[in-house]
C-alpha cells in the first residue's frame, strides 16, 4: 500500500534508535509534538503518524506556521514485540534520570527534553475493551504542589478539537490515591508523558482512539492529528465536527483485592451509574455500590490483585 508501512518498518527496525521528524515553518506559531506507540501494542497512532509524515514529505500536507514534531514509535522495543511495555510502562516515571536503570529510562532521557521544547503534546493511544474513543486532560488550573497548572483552557480546547465526543479530566490525584492504597510511595510513579509535559510549562492531551486491533482507531487518530493542526492554525485541513459530547471528572479508583472479586456487570467505559447501583462484589460477598451518580471508567475485569480494577467519574 502507501509508503506508511515501509516508514513503520524502518522506524521499528532498531529498538536502540528513536526516530522523529520535525518540520519548522519560518512563520512563527505554536509547537506541537505528537507521540505514537508509547504503549507498543497501541499501534493506531504509529500508523496515523507515518501517514502524516508521508503527506508532509509529498506536499499533500503543508505546515503553515510553528513547529511540528512527529514521533511515530515512542517505544520501539515494545512495538516490535506488540506488547504494552518493553521493560516497564513508559508512561510511568517519565522523568529523565542521570543514570538510567532500564530501557524505558533510556527512552525517557531522549524524549523528555524533546517534549520540553514544545508547547503542546498529543499522545495517541488505544484501549483493551470495546468502547468509544475519548480524550484525557489533566487538572484544572491550580497553584498546588503536586501538579500546578495554568493552561487548562488551551488543553481543554485541544481535547475538544480532536473529533471525539468524550473527555475525561483529572488523573494524577486519583492515581496517587491508588498508588498510596497499594503502599507505593514513589512519587514519580504517576508521572507519564502528559504530566511531564505540564511540569515543563506545556499542556498535553491523550487520546484513546479505540480498541487496539480495530482499524477504525487509525482513522480516529488521523482525525485527531488534523483536528490539532486545524485548531492551532498549523495547517489548512478540515477540522473535525465540533465537540458535542460529555465530560467526566475522575473521582475514585477501586483496586482488585482478590481474584475472587467480580464486577457485577459487563461494564464499558462511560457506562452511566446512579447512586446506589451495584457495580461489583468483593470476594467476601460485600457489595460495591455507586456512591454518587456518575459513570464507570477503565473497567479491567481481569486486573491483577492490587491493581486498578475500575474508576468512577462524576459528570463535569
Ligand atoms: Zn496506552
Residue-level pLDDT at 1: 41
Residue-level pLDDT at 237: 96
Ligand 1 geometric centre to CA of 97 (Å): 22
Ligand 1 geometric centre to CA of 284 (Å): 33
Contact 111, 75 (CB under 8 A): no
Ligand 1 geometric centre to CA of 73 (Å): 12
Q: How many CA atoms lie within 13 A of 119 on its CB side?
A: 17
Ligand 1 geometric centre to CA of 89 (Å): 9
Residue-level pLDDT at 130: 81
Residue 61 belongs to domain with CATH number: 3.40.630.10
Residue 192 grid coordinates: 507519564
Same domain? 220 vs 293? no
Same domain? 210 vs 112? yes
The low-confidence residues of the chain, meaning pLDDT below 50, are: 1
Ligand 1 geometric centre to CA of 285 (Å): 33
CA distance 73 to 178: 29
Residue 256 belongs to domain with CATH number: 2.40.50.100
Ligand 1 geometric centre to CA of 126 (Å): 6
Ligand 1 geometric centre to CA of 108 (Å): 16
DSSP H helical ranges for 182-275: 193-199, 216-231
Full domain range(s) for residue 288: 249-315
Ligand 1 geometric centre to CA of 127 (Å): 7
Looking at 173, 202, 231, which one is the last position of a domain?
231
Ligand 1 geometric centre to CA of 216 (Å): 16
CA distance 88 to 77: 11
Domain tally, the chain: 2
Ligand 1 geometric centre to CA of 211 (Å): 11
* Residue 244 placed within a domain: no
Q: What's phi and psi for 53, nearest 5 deg?
A: -60, -45
Ligand 1 geometric centre to CA of 279 (Å): 25
* Residue 125 placed within a domain: yes
Ligand 1 geometric centre to CA of 34 (Å): 14
Same domain? 253 vs 215? no
Ligand 1 geometric centre to CA of 275 (Å): 30
Same domain? 87 vs 114? yes
Same domain? 72 vs 125? yes
Ligand 1 geometric centre to CA of 133 (Å): 12
Same domain? 137 vs 265? no
Same domain? 216 vs 69? yes
Contact 149, 198 (CB under 8 A): yes
Same domain? 255 vs 227? no
Same domain? 122 vs 45? yes
Ligand 1 geometric centre to CA of 32 (Å): 19
Length of the chain equals 316
Contact 52, 222 (CB under 8 A): yes
Ligand 1 geometric centre to CA of 155 (Å): 19
CA distance 57 to 292: 51
| pTM for the full predicted model | 0.93
Ligand 1 geometric centre to CA of 213 (Å): 13
Ligand 1 geometric centre to CA of 125 (Å): 5
Nearest to 111 by CA among 57, 23, 103, 149: 103
CA distance 296 to 250: 9
Same domain? 46 vs 177? yes
Same domain? 197 vs 258? no
Same domain? 32 vs 152? yes
Amino acid at each position: 500500500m502507501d509508503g506508511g508501512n515501509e516508514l513503520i518498518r524502518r522506524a521499528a527496525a532498531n529498538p536502540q534508535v528513536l526516530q522523529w521528524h520535525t518540520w519548522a515553518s519560518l512563520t512563527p506559531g505554536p509547537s506541537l509534538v505528537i507521540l505514537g506507540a508509547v504503549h507498543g501494542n497501541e499501534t493506531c497512532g504509529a500508523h496515523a503518524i507515518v501517514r502524516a509524515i508521508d503527506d508532509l514529505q509529498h506536499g499533500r500536507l503543508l505546515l503553515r506556521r510553528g513547529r511540528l514534531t512527529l514521533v511515530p514509535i515512542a517505544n520501539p522495543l515494545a512495538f516490535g514485540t506488540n506488547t504494552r511495555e518493553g521493560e516497564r510502562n513508559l508512561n510511568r516515571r517519565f522523568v529523565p534520570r542521570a543514570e538510567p536503570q532500564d530501557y524505558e529510562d533510556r527512552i525517557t532521557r531522549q524524549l523528555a527534553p524533546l517534549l520540553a521544547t514544545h508547547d503542546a503534546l498529543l499522545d495517541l493511544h488505544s484501549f483493551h475493551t470495546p468502547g468509544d474513543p475519548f480524550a484525557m486532560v489533566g487538572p484544572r488550573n491550580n497553584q498546588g504542589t503536586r501538579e500546578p497548572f495554568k493552561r487548562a483552557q488551551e488543553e481543554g480546547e485541544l481535547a475538544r478539537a480532536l473529533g471525539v465526543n468524550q473527555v475525561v479530566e483529572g488523573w494524577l490525584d486519583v492515581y496517587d490515591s491508588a498508588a498510596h492504597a497499594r503502599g507505593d510511595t514513589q512519587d514519580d510513579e504517576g508521572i507519564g508523558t502528559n504530566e511531564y509535559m505540564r511540569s515543563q510549562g506545556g499542556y498535553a492531551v491523550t487520546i484513546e482512539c479505540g480498541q487496539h486491533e480495530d482499524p477504525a482507531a487509525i482513522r480516529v487518530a488521523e482525525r485527531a492529528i488534523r483536528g490539532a493542526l486545524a485548531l492551532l492554525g498549523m495547517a489548512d485541513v478540515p477540522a473535525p465536527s465540533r465537540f458535542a459530547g460529555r465530560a467526566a471528572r475522575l473521582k475514585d479508583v477501586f483496586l482488585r483485592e482478590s481474584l475472587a472479586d467480580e464486577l457485577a456487570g459487563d461494564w464499558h467505559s462511560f457506562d452511566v451509574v446512579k447512586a446506589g447501583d451495584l457495580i461489583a462484589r468483593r470476594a467476601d460477598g460485600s457489595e460495591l455500590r455507586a456512591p454518587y451518580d456518575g459513570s464507570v471508567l477503565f473497567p479491567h475485569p481481569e486486573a491483577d490483585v492490587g491493581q486498578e480494577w475500575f474508576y468512577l467519574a462524576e459528570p463535569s
